[in-house]
Amino acid sequence: MKTLFTAMLGTETNSFSALPTGLRMFEETCLYRRANYGEAAPLYAVPLVAWREMAAARGWRVIESLCAFAQPAGPTVRTVYEAFRDEILADLKAAMPVDAVLLSLHGAMIAEGYDDAEGDLLARVRAIVGPDVAIGAEFDLHANISRAKCENVTALVLFKEYPHTDVGERARELFTIIADAIEGKTRPVIGWFDCRMVGVFHTTRQPMRGFVDRASALEGHDGVLSVSIVHGFPWADVADMGSKIIVVTDGDRDKAARLAAELGREFFALRAAISPPYVTLDDAMERAAHYRGARPLVLADVADNAGGGAASDSTFVLEAMLARGVENAAIAMIWDPMVVRLAFEVGVGAAFALRLGGKLGRFSGQPLDLEARVIGLARDVSIPFGGAMAPAGDLAAFAVGAIAIVCSTIRTQCFSPVCFTAAGIDIGARRVLVVKSMQHFHAAFAPIAGDILYVAAPGAVSPVITALPYRKASRDQWPFVENPATGG
């Protein structure tokens, strides 16, 4: 009987976020041990569940260690990272000998003293299991790919879709590659190419959609086992930040490198065409003030996306809507546990003065002093995304004039209309919906939207990346320079 060791550790680190990532963020988001989450697996355990099921079908024994993920924010506290890392390593040592290790990681985790946290973890795992045991890692496509990550794994597979609707599918792909390797059917090797570009690329739009499909079609032919398009995470100020291509082939490293370079140059050539069409806050307010479509206009407040490390308490868009007199609108979700607590104290129907948002530094804007009426309350809400659930805590909805505002006690992005409807907001009756999310909202909101605008308001996840104060990341990349040293 073969033995498979699995674990999950991750967060997406925004170097410019004012929020440090500590133990409580993991506890609020996802922290389990040895599969003690039960049958209702949380969002971040999807790969672990898939691997356990596939291993069981082959009669393998599975030893599952830590499952820990924190809502993105600033660098992880050093002691927290080291404790989680050492727990995984101790569990692995106790499980030895193992035939394979599968790790669900993010790829953009930074801890105090560790710019490449996953590279550190993978190197230590390799040192324990030795050179011959297969190690597979699944990453988010917003990863920072380093040499340490690539050289200490047998295979590396990243999500292909943004929004990330294929987490389980990629987990199953990785399992198959590793299973075939340990059964002697294939010999995976990795090649990669640095595209020398930085950006955000939605796979829901052409020509990015076509590029992803063309790359995916290469898999399973001529010895190509996997192709991953690494978008990179622009808000990580580390040396390895940027877009790359990773190719896994069966025994032919030169071919993997050549194909990665070919696809990387094609990716680079598309750079301008695949960048999202952001609009200014003023232009978004002009459109919202005059919008009369049959279905809601959705405004994505991308810069205050909790999923990118923002506090999700910025007031820039809400303040602009109030100033412009935008009516029949709703916004979700502002992270403000104190106003939610007050709302539960006074109850639905009560009106009182509240100070809303603007609490977590300059990227949060100014707090707003508002006269608000409580219009909805909900306890212990979870938001569906990708076939699983993400916790949002308690929700409170307020009416300020003609605008409904949904606040939460747990910081998370607006994945789904449930962020509104759980608090009693009828989104079908609203002309304008503001979602604090960069792109993960798209899968659930596109079918109900009359139009979608990506708004470049101020915030910790500002899409104007050329204005970010990088110290470590290379500026010899597009769009900092038009023709980087090795790009294209």
Question: What band does 155 get if pLDDT is binned at 50, 70 and 90?
Answer: very high
Burial code (b: 16+ CB inside 10 Å, e: under 16) for 472-484 equals: ebbeebbbbeeeb
Please report, rounded to a whole number, the percentage of residues in the chain having pLDDT higher than 70: 99
- CB within 8 Å of 163: residues ≥ 6 apart: 204, 386, 439, 440, 441, 442, 443
User: Mean pLDDT score of the chain, rounded to an integer?
Assistant: 96
The answer to whether residue 387 scores a pLDDT higher than 90 is: no
What does the pLDDT average to over 204-228? 98
Q: What is the pLDDT of residues 420-474, one digit of tens each?
A: 999 999 999 999 999 999 999 999 999 999 999 999 999 999 999 999 999 999 9
- Per the CB < 8 A criterion, the answer to whether 405 and 372 are in contact is yes
Amino acid at 193: F
CA-to-CA dists, residue 264 to 194, 248, 348, angstroms: 7, 14, 55
Record the tokens describing residue 256, joined without a space. Answer: 């993997």
Class of domain 3-269 (CATH, top level)? alpha beta
Q: What is the dihedral of CA 303, 304, 307, 310, to 10 degrees?
A: 100
Computed on alpha carbons and rounded to an integer, the radius of gyration of the chain in Å comes to 22
Beta pairing partners, 190: 248
The order of strands in the sheet holding 451-455 is 278-279, 451-455, 297-301, 432-435, 329-335, 403-408, 388-400, 368-385, 351-356
- Per the CB < 8 A criterion, the answer to whether 87 and 117 are in contact is no
Which strand (E) or helix (H) includes residue 356? strand 351-356
Place of tokens 């499909």: 213
The answer to whether residue 488 scores a pLDDT higher than 50 is: no
Residue extents of the structural domains in the chain: 3-269, 278-462
In terms of Cα–Cα distance, which of 345, 354, 302 is closest to 459?
302
Q: What is the pLDDT of residues 305-358, one digit of tens each?
A: 999 999 999 999 999 999 999 999 999 999 999 999 999 999 999 999 999 999
Q: What's the rounded Cα separation, in Å, for the pair 191 and 257?
A: 4
Q: What is the pLDDT of residues 61-87, one digit of tens each?
A: 999 999 999 999 999 999 999 999 999
In terms of Cα–Cα distance, which of 353, 316, 357, 359 is closest to 334?
357
In terms of Cα–Cα distance, which of 443, 402, 453, 449 is closest to 294?
449
The answer to whether residue 289 scores a pLDDT higher than 50 is: yes
Q: What's the rounded Cα separation, in Å, for the pair 153 and 64?
A: 18
- Per the CB < 8 A criterion, the answer to whether 326 and 288 are in contact is yes
Place of tokens 């279905």: 295
Question: What band does 486 get if pLDDT is binned at 50, 70 and 90?
Answer: low
Q: What's the rounded Cα separation, in Å, for the pair 80 and 316?
A: 33
The answer to whether residue 140 scores a pLDDT higher than 60 is: yes
